[in-house]
Amino acid sequence: MQLIRLIAFCALSALMALTLAHPARALTLLRDPDIEYALKQLAEPVLKAAGLSPSRTDILLIDDSSLNAFVVDRDHIFIHSGLLLKMRTPAMLQSVIAHEAAHISNGHLMRRPINMRNARTAAGLGAALAAAAAIAAGAGEAAGAAAIGAQTSAQRLFFAHTRAEENAADQSGLRYMAAAGIDTRGAVEVMDIFRGQEVLSFGRQDPYARTHPMSADRFRVIQRLAEAYASETRANPAADYWFARAKSKLSAFQRAPKWTLTRAGETGYADIKLMRQAIAHHRRSDTSRAIAAIDAAIAQRPNDPFYYELKGQILMESRRFAAATAAYGRAVSLAPENALILGSYGRALLAEGKVSQAQDYLERSRSRDGRDSRVMRDLAVAHARQGNKGMAALVTAERYAMSGRLQDAGLHAQRASDMLPRGSTGWRRAQDVLSAAQAAEQKRR
């Protein structure tokens, strides 16, 4: 598991009023291949029912204890870690995903002044997350914003869905759930959490309640539809397992080890119990107990790449680089296309001093997921150690662009552009960052 901190920035004029009022705000993505895989398993039937491509629409976790889920473009559904921990059943989580997928499928993003076509690139994700951070900023600053009418309505126009959109998304979402055989009553349980928040002041509501306006009428419609569809529910042991696993891994990294150890067995899955114990022991720096536990989990699921990946992380953070490389290597052989695992393997190889091999795997990781700032930092190191200053500058430029530091990004992109062969792929990537930096500079003036 890794945390990727992004600083909110503003490359979009419509956001200016907001970001001026709220200076740069850090927003942290939680990247974990195991949890992301689990979320994908849970999302897949929903996305298919919504007519979206499960391979294109990613479910990404934001490290934030408040409850929220939102979309800013077609390619990402963002979920706050606090919301995942709050969900009691897979159906509850899937109802949230279904509702957000419906906002995408029903075209609710089209009327937004924001149009992020390039969110799969580093600079594009930065822009998408700037919008996300502004939503999060709304949480803390809401009281102030409420005093300024114009700003509030700008904020509402920008981030909140209208009641008509909410009703449409509810109905579509429930339809997707029913088509996928998911218990639609999960949607009612989620609404129950937010229903009471109507009466709270704006500043005390969860962001979800603020951007998804509630009403008694809306609740009644959901209840009625959910009951009508409930008979279509089918048992799904895989969804039960992956939901337990995602929640267990997240809580093991976020809650106190003591909390985790006393509850390790509560999901009923032997391997998940061992995984929770491994993480708790690791966080207490008890490496031998941690390794024993993760090895026992691996013995239960010998072809599970994510348990090898966790073993690699434990070893890497205990500075046992050669052993970490071996564990990550096994994970790569089991999941050769997983960008996060490829990146971790490259990082371990780099730590071992195997620079050109490291560069190869880091490059493979970056080409599959250009949004991982840690991979880009490692890649810059690998390029620099091999004397390739142009590429080191380019990757650094892209990393700055992703974290919203477009001025720094522009400087490094200019260096890269000067050093790389004109017209080459790297040179063209440098031009992309340069134009993003120039556009931001013009808006700033």
**Which residues contact Zn ion (rule: CB under 5 A)?**
161, 166, 169, 212
Nearer to Zn ion by Cβ, of 30 and 187: the residue is 187
Closest distance of CB 136 from Zn ion, Å: 17
Closest distance of CB 104 from Zn ion, Å: 11
Closest distance of CB 58 from Zn ion, Å: 19
Q: Tell me the C-alpha to C-alpha distance, in Å, between residue 151 and each of 8, 136, 227.
A: 18, 15, 40
Nearer to Zn ion by Cβ, of 79 and 315: the residue is 79
Query: What b/e sequence results for 128-138 when a residue is b if at least 16 CB atoms lie within 10 Å of its CB, and e otherwise?
Result: bbbbbbbbbbb
Task: Return the closest-CA partner of residue 301 out of 34, 40, 60.
Answer: 34
Write down how long the chain is.
Answer: 445
Nearer to Zn ion by Cβ, of 11 and 169: the residue is 169
d(CA 231, CA 182): 10
Closest distance of CB 12 from Zn ion, Å: 22
d(CA 347, CA 317): 12
Closest distance of CB 27 from Zn ion, Å: 20
Nearer to Zn ion by Cβ, of 58 and 166: the residue is 166
Cβ pair 62, 30 in contact under 8 A: yes
Residue 262 class from Cβ within 10 Å (0-12 exposed, 13-18 middle, 19+ buried)?
exposed
Closest distance of CB 99 from Zn ion, Å: 5
d(CA 244, CA 239): 8
Closest distance of CB 108 from Zn ion, Å: 8
Nearer to Zn ion by Cβ, of 49 and 401: the residue is 49
Cβ pair 82, 64 in contact under 8 A: yes
Closest distance of CB 256 from Zn ion, Å: 34
Closest distance of CB 258 from Zn ion, Å: 37
Nearer to Zn ion by Cβ, of 109 and 296: the residue is 109
State the Cα angle at 40 between 34 and 44, rounded to 5°: 155
Structure tokens at 155: 């904020």
Nearer to Zn ion by Cβ, of 70 and 307: the residue is 70
Nearer to Zn ion by Cβ, of 61 and 96: the residue is 96
Closest distance of CB 195 from Zn ion, Å: 14
Structure tokens at 83: 């919301």
> What number of CA atoms fall less than 13 Å from residue 261's CA on the CB side?
12
Element of type H or E holding 276:
helix 270-283
Nearer to Zn ion by Cβ, of 64 and 166: the residue is 166
DSSP state of 203: G
Q: Tell me the C-alpha to C-alpha distance, in Å, between residue 86 and each of 40, 124, 392.
A: 18, 30, 42
Which residue sits closest to Zn ion, CB atoms considered?
Answer: 212
Instruction: Please enumerate in sequence order all residues whose Cβ is within 8 A of that of 393, keeping only pairs 6 or more positions apart, or say none.
Output: 412, 413, 415, 416, 419, 430
Nearer to Zn ion by Cβ, of 33 and 173: the residue is 173
How many angstroms separate the most distant Cα atoms in the chain?
Answer: 65
> What number of CA atoms fall less than 13 Å from residue 66's CA on the CB side?
18
Give the β-pairing of 26-31 and 58-62. Answer: antiparallel
Closest distance of CB 103 from Zn ion, Å: 6
Nearer to Zn ion by Cβ, of 94 and 365: the residue is 94
d(CA 440, CA 393): 20
* Helices then strands, each counted (H, E), the chain: 22, 5
Cβ pair 93, 80 in contact under 8 A: no
Nearer to Zn ion by Cβ, of 212 and 364: the residue is 212
Give the β-pairing of 76-80 and 69-70. Answer: antiparallel
Closest distance of CB 106 from Zn ion, Å: 10
